[in-house]
């Protein structure tokens, strides 16, 4: 596994070694020992999968402490634009965001540590996303930030498509008004 720095402390792109032959391909999508050797403290306890259609934007979601979650994101089918927003008040990249295209062809994975909000837009006709979390989902601590926060100015890369956004995500507050205990 190759670990690629992003310029954000603890936020990494992971490139697994993919073995390709006439039958198809094989790769290890997660090996705890590789994470430890890369200096990434991550032990998943929950695995999630979502399927979305082109133009869907999900996010920006996070959980407050003590239920904060680190996540390892990968795309099984299709392509997404994945975004992480740093909510850690003591971080040099506080209130900044990082975005990356993830798809089923490049097999790259995005490791998002605790203290970040996460969201993605779907760029392909459909996308199936799998992500591992190191803490269980807890609706009591679930929070969100507006996808269209003018202080963040995120280009979700959906072009002229009318985005498909849940009612809940449309009600998320701006970052400056969002609850944050990081």
| pLDDT for position 17 | 95
Domain residue ranges in the chain? 44-177
Q: What are phi and psi of 50, to 5 degrees?
A: -135, 150
Q: What is the mean pLDDT of residues 129-140?
A: 98
| Dist CA 141 CA 17 (whole Å) | 36
Q: What is the per-residue pLDDT across 67-118, written as a single tens digit (0 to 9) for each?
A: 999 999 999 999 999 999 999 999 999 999 999 999 999 999 999 999 999 9
| pLDDT for position 143 | 98
Asked whether 85 and 97 are in contact (CB, 8 A), the reply is: yes
| Dist CA 35 CA 118 (whole Å) | 20
| pLDDT for position 121 | 98
pTM assigned to the model: 0.96
Q: Which structure tokens are listed for 181?
A: 């205990």
Q: What is the per-residue pLDDT across 11-29, written as a single tens digit (0 to 9) for each?
A: 999 999 999 999 999 999 9
Residues catalogued as catalytic: 61, 131
Q: What is the mean pLDDT of the chain?
A: 97
Q: What is the per-residue pLDDT across 142-174, written as a single tens digit (0 to 9) for each?
A: 999 999 999 999 999 999 999 999 999 999 999
- Domain 44-177 falls in which CATH fold? Jelly Rolls (2.60.120)
| Dist CA 182 CA 180 (whole Å) | 6
Instruction: Report residue 176's pLDDT band, with 50, 70 and 90 as the boundaries.
Output: very high
| pLDDT for position 77 | 98
| pLDDT for position 40 | 96
| pLDDT for position 162 | 95
| pLDDT for position 128 | 98
Q: What is the mean pLDDT of residues 46-71?
A: 98
């Amino acid at each position: 596994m190759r670990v690629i720095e992003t310029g954000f402390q603890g936020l990494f792109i992971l490139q697994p070694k993919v073995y390709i032959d006439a039958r198809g391909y094989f790769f290890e999508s997660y090996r705890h020992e590789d994470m430890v050797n890369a200096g990434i403290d991550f032990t998943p306890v929950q695995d999630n999968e979502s399927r979305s259609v082109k133009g869907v934007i999900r996010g920006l979601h996070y959980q407050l402490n003590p239920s904060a979650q680190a996540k390892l994101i990968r795309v099984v089918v299709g392509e997404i634009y994945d975004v992480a927003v740093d909510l850690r008040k003591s971080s040099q990249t506080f209130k900044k965001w990082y975005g990356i295209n993830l798809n089923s062809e490049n097999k790259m994975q995005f490791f998002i540590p605790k203290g970040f909000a996460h969201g993605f837009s779907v760029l392909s006709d459909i996308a199936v996303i799998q992500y591992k979390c190191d803490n269980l989902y807890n609706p009591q601590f679930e929070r969100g930030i507006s996808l269209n926060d003018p202080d963040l100015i995120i280009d979700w890369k959906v072009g002229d498509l009318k985005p498909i956004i849940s009612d809940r995500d449309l009600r998320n507050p701006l970052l400056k008004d969002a609850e944050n205990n990081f």
